[in-house]
Amino acid sequence: MQDKIRPFLGTWLLDLDDSEFDQSALPRSGSCRIEEEFGLVNIRMSLVESGGDELNVVLSGIPDGPETPMRESGLIDSMVLYFEGSRTLTSQARRNGVPLMTARRTLSDDGHALEIEQTVEVPGQGLVSNTAIYRRAQ
C-alpha cells in the first residue's frame, strides 16, 4: 500500500484557471494535503470560499480497507477509501451503505497535477459535480 499511496503524498494547490465548479461558486483558493502514517491516510482539504469563509475537512481511512465510521456528520455515517488502478485514489461518503458523495483523485502521468472530481447526489437534482485541478506544491 505504501508504494501505491506515495505518489499522492504531499501538498497540492488549487489551480483556479483549470477548475470547473458546477456544484458551487469557484472558491478563492484551496489546498489538499495527503499524508500517510502506519497505513492510515489523512486527506486535509482547505478552501476559501467565494464569500471568504474558510472550509476545512479531514478525511481519514485505510486505502482498500474497511469503512470508517463518521460520527461527526449528520448526513453521512461512514467513509471508504480505495484505489482504482494505480493513479486514482477514491473516497466515498456513505449513509446506510449508499454512496452520497464520491471524490476521485487522479494523478497526471507526470505526477505534478491531481484532478479531483467530486460528485454529490443532491435530492431533487440528481448528480452534481466539481472538477478541481491541483498542482503539486514545490
Task: Spell out the domains of the chain, with CATH numbers in brackets.
Answer: 2-136 (2.40.128.20)
pLDDT of residue 72: 64
**pLDDT tens figures, 11-54:** 999 999 999 887 677 889 999 999 999 989 999 999 999 899 99
Q: Kindly report the pTM of this predicted structure.
A: 0.88
Task: Pick the most confident of 70-74, 96-100, 119-123.
Answer: 96-100
| 128 close to 119: Cβ distance less than 8 angstroms | yes
How far apart (Å, rounded) are the C-alpha atoms in residues 47 and 57? 9
